[in-house]
Amino acid sequence: MKRIALFLVAMALSSILLAQTQNSDSLYRQPLKTVLSEIEGRFKVKIKYSENQVNNRWVNYALWRFRPDVDETLANVLAPLDMKVNKEKEGVYKLKEYEYYRWNAAEGQATLNHLASLYQDKASWEKRKALIRPLLYQAQQLSPLPAKPLSKPIITPKRVMDGYTVENIAIEILPGLYINGSLYRPSKIRGKIPVMLSPDGHWGQQRYRADCQLRCATMARMGVMAFSYDLFAWGESLLQFKPEDHRRSLAQTIQTLGGIRILDYVLSLKETDPGRVGISGGSGGGSHTVLMAAMDDRIKLSAPVVSLSSSFYGGCPCESGMPIHLCAGGTNNVELAAMAAPNPQLVVSDGKDWTVTVPGQDMPFLKTIYGYYGQAERVENVHLPEEGHDFGYSKRKALYDFLVQNFKLDVAGVKDKDGKYDESKCTIEKEPAMYVFGEKAERLPANAIKGFEQLEQVFKAATK
């Protein structure tokens, strides 16, 4: 009561001082900078912001939005401006533009609780899943899928390494639009073997990174075909587009279509075992992993790395640019991940990004869904509380172990005497060796799309 009384006194004093300039005719309007200063003084807090964030921004009914609680006051003041604050520590806030894709953990838990209330058993869950899946295609303007170009993949000469080979491949997924990657295969192939799609994430050097090459080469040495591929307007795709095109909403659609066409290709190979097809990517590649496993039942195993969270929807438009999370009255990445059930799924999380809540908040939900099939043990979590946002050795080891267990692999040849996975026999190639179209794009097909505007025209024609 005392706190409320003091608040009302402060509001009264402010009203007296502003009485001559503040009234309903002016909408009680004040500059945002002035309002933030008032909040800082009244609640004894610090709000960090740049001048560009507050210049020429005004708050209507400014002081009427104040409440006795600072967090409620900040929400009331900033929400109409599509702004928010992140609480860095007690009494210190940082002003941010509204982030539709980032919620707090409590909001994530509340959403999971709501979703869990929509089904109680396998039958009701399958009904929900059947509702969501076609809507994911519609949300990305992929219903129906555009016609597949009749061109054959462009494949570079095979490079022979220690226990595996590498070929660079470009697949035309729309007229003039190519998705590029590298296919790693075991040197000796007997019968049908597994395949793993390995989409790149939002790290530097794209699929040319050492950790990406080590992961795919090691999987090949374990007896798995691994297809490493670029995100849209990322890597070799930059021959056709500008880097800023990656942050357009259509990027998500193009990446999904690319994943579908890569699946078409690898399943056409005589050595592919269609019962052992998996996908694993990290960061933005992890979001793509979850979406692909939810949409395409040809995928039999998934492993999103440092990406999955009920309170983070993907900060890049290639993850959340299309309204996939608004499907069926609203969903989130954890429910989408649950759509992979009862196929084996590994969730790798860490303690220094948004995946910190996975063990206590997101895994119970996934376990419940897998439990509907009597297969709760088929969804696993490796949580690394002291690690951060990368695809380092410990994350790769978790993936290797999971593949050994579920794809029934013999790894005697890839472990050292101490039982550790030996990646030292993998060759880290220089970037140009992994190009499909040459160092100067001299092999880029004549029909290649050049620029986002042309892509939009081609996509519109292909989906009308």
pLDDT in tens, 368-382: 999 999 999 999 999
Comparing 200 with 138, which gets the higher pLDDT? 138
Its pTM stands at 0.90
Q: What is the pLDDT of residue 397?
A: 97
Burial of 16 (0-12, 13-18, 19+ CB in 10 A): exposed
Q: What's 431's DSSP letter?
A: G
Distance separating alpha carbons of residues 152 and 305, to the nearest angstrom: 32
401 three-state secondary structure: helix
Q: What is the pLDDT of residue 5?
A: 55
pLDDT of residue 16 exceeding 60, the answer is no
Query: How large a percentage of the chain has pLDDT more than 70?
Result: 95
Q: What is the pLDDT of residue 464?
A: 86
Residue pointed to by tokens 């894709």:
101
pLDDT band, very low/low/confident/very high, at 10 (cuts 50, 70, 90):
low
pLDDT of residue 19 exceeding 50, the answer is no
Q: For all residues of the chain together, what is the average pLDDT?
A: 94
Give the pLDDT mean for 324-331. Answer: 97
pLDDT band, very low/low/confident/very high, at 412 (cuts 50, 70, 90):
confident
For residue 154, give both structure tokens.
């462009």
Q: What is the pLDDT of residue 4?
A: 57
For residue 11, give both structure tokens.
């509001």
Written as one letter, the residue type at 198 is S
pLDDT band, very low/low/confident/very high, at 1 (cuts 50, 70, 90):
low
Distance separating alpha carbons of residues 408 and 361, to the nearest angstrom: 30
Q: What is the pLDDT of residue 142?
A: 98
pLDDT in tens, 110-165: 999 999 999 999 999 999 999 999 999 999 999 999 999 999 999 999 999 999 99
Q: What is the pLDDT of residue 254?
A: 98
Q: What is the pLDDT of residue 130?
A: 98
Written as one letter, the residue type at 180 is N
Give the pLDDT mean for 79-106. Answer: 94
pLDDT of residue 345 exceeding 90, the answer is yes
pLDDT in tens, 32-48: 999 999 999 999 999 99
pLDDT band, very low/low/confident/very high, at 238 (cuts 50, 70, 90):
very high
Which one, of 283, 315, 235, 255, lies nearest residue 392 by Cα? Answer: 283
pLDDT in tens, 413-448: 899 988 899 999 999 999 999 999 998 899 999 999
pLDDT band, very low/low/confident/very high, at 11 (cuts 50, 70, 90):
low
pLDDT of residue 308 exceeding 70, the answer is yes
Comparing 23 with 11, which gets the higher pLDDT? 23
Relative orientation angle of helices 105-116 and 363-371, to the nearest 10 degrees: 10
Distance separating alpha carbons of residues 138 and 283, to the nearest angstrom: 24
